[in-house]
Amino acid sequence: MGGWRKIIHIDMDAFYASVEQRDNPAYRDKPIVVGGRPEQRGAVAAASYEARKFGIHSAMPARTAQQKCSDLIFVEPRFDVYREVSQQIRAIFLSYTDLVEPLALDEAYLDVTQNKAHIPSAVAIAKVIKQKILAATQLTASAGVSINKFLAKIASGMDKPDGLYLIAPAQAEAFVETLPIEKFHGIGQVTAKKMRALGIQTGADLKQWSEANLVQRFGKVGRFYYKVARGQDDRPVNPNRIRKSVGAEHSFAEDLTSLDQMGVELERLAQRVAERLDKQKQSGYTLTLKIKYADYQQITRSQTLSEPIRDASAIYGLAQDLLWAHVGDGKKVRLLGITISQLVNAAELQYIQLSLTL
Amino acid sequence: MKFTCAQSELNTHLSVVSRAVPSRPSKPILGNVLLKADMATQQVTLIGFDESLGIETSFSAQIEQTGTLTLPAKLLTDIVSRLPSEDINLEETDSDATLILTCSSGHYQVRGMSSEDFPSLPLVKEGQAATLSPEGLLEGLQGSLFATSPDETKQVLTGVHLIVEPEILEFAATDGHRLAVVQTVDQKPDATSEEASVSELDVTVPAKALRELERVLQLHQTTEAIALRFDPTQVIFELGQQRITTRLLEGQYPNYRQLIPKQFERQMTLDRKQLIAALERIAVLADQKNNIVKLTLDNDQQTLALSVEAQEVGSGREIIPAQISGDNLEIAFNVKYLLDGLKVIACPEVQVQCNTATSPSILTPLSGVKMTYLVMPVQIRS
């Protein structure tokens, strides 16, 4: 085990749905989804394994989910309860290592290279953690064990639910080579499609590409692809993960039809984003406007500025520019969102190396 | 293959070509150098090639038998560099692509590979040609290479943009924060009629290849004209016995000429050495934090103050005389950017022109090379 890190990725199985099934016997063994109701135009936040058999998955519009399964039970989310469970499992993680990086309420990375239990085997730790989670919450989790975050995350998805999967250092490269491209965490549907068009079907294909070519084709993230194609990922498990973006979005109960209405909503969103930025003492260079039309078609448009912005009026102004430039004529809008990314701390603002506009 | 040559000669030429041998070759044979001995010309030719950059060099030797072989570059270089400085004998064995090196201290056998699979250096058959003077070329390279971007993802910015117009040779490089442009008037030492007619050339050449060219130029201090042949994908520099080929960088180079302001509200003239010395002292502290130096132009006193504040480490301030016109100004820069430019501006006095604390400033030498070095300032906000 010379020098390898020991990383565990823990992912609760169908988390919100499982909590609901635990607390309400009527939901057990039934297809349920947690999230908004179809008549409120909500989306699926989590689907039970029974619901997944019908092809229902998270982020799917509730209406579509209902069409796929007429017996589907819609359950209102109870975030307080989920947060409580999340605290419980986090306490278990922290009893083994302080290097815990929560990704969401239901998943986290753990670096157990050094651990408080002095257990050399990461697999053994993962097993105990799973047992403790079950004992404390009556819920199952899946664990992935490997030498970095990328591989651990893939591993946790290999054997769901209630799984435990190890990608050993010696297998890492071979494992990634056989992996279909869309299974790569960090490669979404759109990128996967692009890659398939370029003849990249698996990790082995991806590996044929030079770093420079990947960057040319996909931008900066090409570097990440280059590394993970080799099973490498040196991102540390960061217990104080810094947010990459701050944003807010809203689905409207009734579709918006006029630019005036949209402007009013944008102003509200801008206000909320500005408040969140302020709370975190951050500002950002890039603003992204998300527009989802009534037909669920979605567009995002971004603009990067030479100086970071943080106040509501600047955010509103820029978001409105983007809206006017890009919103489809006469199209009904069901959702608007504003995200600020490329964040910098307010303290770092003091010195800005100016750039040439090439 | 069999020949005898001076150890020093082989060593020098090996070290030149081995710079084009990749440390992690994509196929094994590219980790080798190609060795070619030709009885007819009594020349030994060496080639290293990483599929983008290729270097070929030749030297005279006593050739007894013609032949070609490729050998592991690093191994061969490491052995040859340690051999005694005398004539050494190199001979290929009959059977298995092995080279035997013999000198007074003993002999070595190095296993090589057949040259069949070694890719040949690209040729430019139907391209255009130009000739350049070595001085002009070196001046241009020294004045621009430092400003290229080291970031591979920046594509064209990792190279130097070369424009050849009749009599004028322009080099430009930028990493997005600064821009160096050098214009040299091309005095061709030997403008033979056929090839000398310069077609206009507008290409971006990878910095890596140009650094090798710079090295070779400095090493040989030739006065012979350098021939340049290019087509849309390749450029070849030919300097006497040496040939450097490289793939060109694809993509539109930024229209940098429009970035250089034509008018300035402020101007100062400084003693270059004095400025460098002060900045180097300032840099010691600036290095500790964010590399920022603050310049204060004082028109009343006709001085320039340089100051550094490295939080929790220390601070420093120097004042040097300057001929200043225009209003007082405080402006900050990355001290490294200033030093990079000042070091290649080889003249006693340098002129600095600026408008505001957030607009581009330019540095120019008052004599000698025609160079414009534009630097974007660092904006300070409280």
Q: What is the pLDDT of residue B213?
A: 93
Average pLDDT of every residue of chain B: 90
Task: Give the chain A residue whose CA is nearest to the CA of B357.
Answer: A354
Percent of chain A residues topping a pLDDT of 70: 97
Residues 314 through 353 of chain A touching chain B, CB cutoff 8 Å: 349-353
Q: What integer best gives the mean pLDDT of chain A?
A: 89
Question: Which of B260, B356, B362, B381 should one mutate to test binding to chain A, selecting the residue with the greatest count of A CBs within 10 A?
Answer: B381
Binning pLDDT at 50, 70 and 90, where does residue B180 land? very high
- What tokens were used for A250? 């809203």
User: Does the pLDDT at position B377 exceed 80?
Assistant: yes
Across the range B60-80, mean pLDDT stands at 95
pLDDT at B53 over 90: yes
Size of interface A-B (CB pairs under 8 A): 55
Q: Is A107 a catalytic residue?
A: yes
Residue B186's pLDDT band (cuts 50, 70, 90): low
Among the residues of chain B, which ranges form H helices?
A: 7-17, 73-82, 134-144, 193-196, 207-220, 272-286, 335-344
Task: Give the residue among B365, B375, B339, B147 at the shortest CA–CA distance from B271.
Answer: B365
A212 touches chain B (CB under 8 A): yes
**A272 and A202 both lie in a single domain:** no
Query: Do residue B153 and residue A353 have CB atoms under 8 angstroms apart?
Result: no
pLDDT digits (tens, 9 = 90+) for B11-45: 999 999 999 999 888 889 999 999 999 999 999 99
Residue of A20, A50, A101, A107 marked active site: A107
Which H or E element spans position B91?
strand B87-92
| Domain stop point among A167, A189, A210 | A167
Is A357 in the B-facing interface, judged by CB distances under 8 Å? yes
In 3D space, the residue among A207, A153, A214, A218 whose CA is nearest the CA of residue A181 turns out to be A207
pLDDT at A43: 81
Among residues A228, A255, A272, the one where a domain terminates is A228
In the three-class reduction of DSSP (H, G, I as helix; E, B as strand; rest coil), residue B23 is classed as coil
| pLDDT of res. B199 | 58
| Closest CB to B153 among A215, A354, A357 | A215
pLDDT digits (tens, 9 = 90+) for B148-172: 998 877 889 999 999 988 778 899 9
Which residues of chain B does A355 touch, with a Cβ-Cβ cutoff of 8 Å? 176-177, 376
Residue A106 forms part of a structural domain: yes
Q: The pTM is what?
A: 0.56
Tokens of B140: 């241009």
Residue B327 pLDDT greater than 80, yes or no: yes
Choosing among B52, B53, B151, B152, which should be mutated to test the A contact, i.e. which has the most A CBs within 10 A?
B152
Distance, in angstroms, between A324 CA and closest chain B CA?
Answer: 30
Residues A55 and A140 in one domain: yes
Tell me if chain B has a CB within 8 Å of the CB of A358: yes
Q: Is A213 on the interface with B (CB under 8 A)?
A: no
Q: In what order do the strands lie in the sheet with B329-334?
A: A351-353, B378-380, B329-334, B292-298, B303-310, B314-321
Q: How confident is the model at residue A89 (pLDDT cuts 50, 70, 90)?
A: very high
The answer to whether A220 faces chain B, any CB pair under 8 Å, is yes
> For residues B32-69, b (16+ Cβ closer than 10 Å) or e, as one string?
bbbbbbbeeeebbbbbbbbebbbbbbbbebebeeebbb
| pLDDT tens, position by position, A258-316 | 988 999 999 999 999 998 888 777 888 899 999 999 888 889 998 888 778 888 988 99
In a domain, A233, yes or no: no
Q: What string of DSSP letters covers B289-341?
A: TT-EEEEEEETTTTEEEEEEEETTTEEEEEEEE-EEESS-EEEEEEHHHHHHH
Other beta carbons within 10 angstroms of residue B128's beta carbon come to 16
pLDDT digits (tens, 9 = 90+) for B281-304: 999 999 887 889 999 999 999 999
Residues of chain B with pLDDT > 70, as a percent, come to 96
Chain B positions with Cβ closer than 8 Å to A: 152-153, 155, 157, 174, 176-179, 254, 256, 259, 290, 292, 332, 334, 358, 360, 374, 376-382
CB contact under 8 A, B153 and A220: yes
Q: What is the mean pLDDT of residues A235-257?
A: 84
Decide if B379 and A358 are in contact by the 8 Å CB cutoff: no
% of chain B exceeding 90 in pLDDT: 70
Question: In this structure, is residue A240 part of a structural domain?
Answer: no
Do A350 and B381 lie within an 8 Å CB cutoff?
yes
Does A354 sit within 8 Å of B153, measured CB to CB? Answer: no
Radius of gyration of chain B (CA): 25
Other Cβ atoms closer than 10 A to A326:
12
Please tell me the predicted confidence (pLDDT) of residue A1: 44
For chain A, what is the domain count?
3
pLDDT at B193: 40
Residue of A224, A285, A353 to mutate when probing chain B, most B C-beta within 10 A = A353
pLDDT > 90? residue B184 = no
Any residues with CB less than 8 A from the CB of B246 and at least 6 apart, and which? B52, B53, B54, B205, B206, B208, B209, B234, B235
Does residue A160 share a domain with residue A209?
A: no
Tokens of B327: 């209003």
b/e per residue A260-298 (b: at least 16 CB within 10 A)? eebbebbbbbbbbbbeebeeeebbbbbbbbbbbbeeeee
A309, part of any domain: yes
B261 neighbourhood in chain A, CB within 8 Å:
none
pLDDT in tens, B192-246: 444 444 556 789 999 999 999 999 888 877 788 888 888 888 999 998 889 999 9
Q: Does some domain include residue A132?
A: yes
Residue B284: predicted pLDDT: 94
| Residue A318, domain CATH | 3.30.1490.100
Same structural domain, A106 and A214 = no
> Which of A27-41, B4-18, B361-375 is predicted with the least confidence, judged by mean pLDDT?
A27-41
Considering the domain architecture, whether residues A252 and A307 belong to the same structural domain is answered as yes
Q: Is residue A31 part of a domain?
A: yes
pLDDT band (50, 70, 90) for residue A349: very low
Contact B259 A357 (CB under 8 A): yes
CATH of the domain at A6: 3.30.70.270
What b/e sequence results for B276-315 when a residue is b if at least 16 CB atoms lie within 10 Å of its CB, and e otherwise? bebbeebbebbeeebbbbbbbbeeeeebbbbbbbbeeeee
A239 domain-assigned = no
Contact A215 B377 (CB under 8 A): no
pLDDT the model gives residue B276? 97
* Separation of alpha carbons B158 and B161, rounded Å: 10
B381·A358 Cβ contact <8 A: no
User: Is A284 within a domain?
Assistant: yes
pLDDT at position B197: 46
Residue B95 has pLDDT above 80, yes or no: no
Which CATH number fits the domain that encloses residue A224? 1.10.150.20
Asked if pLDDT for residue A146 goes beyond 70, the answer is yes
Same domain, A36 and A3: yes
Bridge pairing between strands A73-75 and A32-35 = parallel
| Bridge-based pairing state of the strands A164-166 and A282-293 | unpaired
Of all residues in chain A, the percent with pLDDT exceeding 90 is 58
Q: Taking a contact as any Cβ pair under 8 Å apart, which residues of chain A between 258 and 277 contact chain B?
A: none
**Which residues of chain A does B290 touch, with a Cβ-Cβ cutoff of 8 Å?**
351
Facing residue for B152 by CB, picked from A212, A353, A356: A212
Q: Tokens at residue A9, please?
A: 């990725």
CA closest to B256 among chain A residues: A358
Q: Are residues A188 and A72 in the same domain?
A: no
User: Within this chain, do residues A180 and A120 fall inside the same structural domain, yes or no?
Assistant: no
Q: For residue A115, which amino acid is it?
A: N
Structure tokens at A268: 């509200």
Same domain, A3 and A110: yes
How high is the pLDDT of residue A194? 87
Closest CA to B2 of B38, B33, B34: B38
Both A30 and A154 in one domain: the answer is: yes
H/E stretch holding A135 reads: helix A122-137
Contact yes or no for B169/B162 (Cβ under 8 A): yes
One domain for residues A30 and A120: yes
Same structural domain, A202 and A320: no
Domain encompassing residue A104: 1-167
8 Å CB contact of B254 and A220: no
Q: Which of A95-104, A217-226, B205-214 has the highest mean pLDDT?
A: B205-214
Q: Which of A222, A350, A356 sits opposite B259 (nearest CB)?
A: A356
For residue B251, give the nearest of B236, B237, B232 by alpha carbon.
Answer: B232
Site from A218, A345, A352, A355 to mutate, B interface, most B CB atoms within 10 angstroms: A352
Which chain A residue is nearest to residue B260, measuring alpha carbons? A356
Chain A hits for B254, CB-CB cut-off 8 Å, are 356, 358
How far apart (Å, rounded) are the C-alpha atoms in residues B272 and B354? 17
Regarding predicted confidence, which is higher, A204 or A342? A204
Q: Encoding tokens for residue B291?
A: 């590399």
Asked if pLDDT for residue B112 goes beyond 70, the answer is yes
